[in-house]
């Protein structure tokens, strides 16, 4: 699980640096993220699952890691996350199966480490 730990550490370091630099753009991004994932007509859990599928289609490993972790924290089951990954595979076609490999590693880390 070294890669996942490295990604988490790198994300946290970048977050701290951007906050320390008082980046207005980053602050605006964080506010947008809070607004986008707040409970509304769709609860946060469903929004995180949508983001998981989108992350697979865009092949964003850091996004997959973050949104799988956030979906689980919001109460999503392993099966729900897998189905979100599967929607991403369908939407992306063959390349989505390659991205899904990483998502499966993250799922193992999130749902098997507890």
Which 3 state secondary structure label does DSSP give 15? helix
Query: 114 pLDDT exceeds 70?
Result: no
User: How would residue 112 be classed by pLDDT, with cut points 50, 70 and 90?
Assistant: confident
Query: 1 pLDDT exceeds 80?
Result: no
Choose among 36, 25, 90, 41: nearest CA to 67: 36
What confidence tens digit (pLDDT) does each residue in 51-89 have?
999 999 999 999 999 999 999 999 999 999 999 999 999
Residue 22 to residues 16, 25, 29, 30, 96, Cα–Cα distance (Å): 10, 9, 12, 12, 36
- Provide mean pLDDT across the span 22-45: 97
Q: Give the model's pLDDT for residue 113.
A: 77
Query: What pTM was computed for the model?
Result: 0.88
Query: Which CATH number is correct for 2-112, 1.10.3470.10, 1.20.1290.10, 3.20.20.70, 3.60.21.10?
Result: 1.20.1290.10
Per cent of the chain over pLDDT 70 is 98
């Amino acid at each position: 699980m070294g890669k996942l730990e490295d990604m988490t550490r790198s994300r946290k370091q970048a977050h701290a640096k951007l906050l320390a630099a008082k980046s207005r753009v980053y602050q605006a991004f964080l506010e947008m993220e809070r607004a986008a994932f707040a409970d509304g007509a769709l609860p946060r859990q469903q929004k995180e699952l949508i983001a998981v599928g989108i992350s697979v289609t865009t092949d964003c490993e850091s996004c997959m890691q973050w949104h799988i972790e956030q979906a689980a924290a919001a109460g999503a089951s392993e099966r729900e996350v897998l189905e979100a990954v599967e929607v991403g595979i369908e939407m992306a076609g063959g390349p989505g199966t390659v991205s899904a490999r990483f998502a499966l590693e993250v799922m193992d880390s999130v749902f098997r480490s507890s």
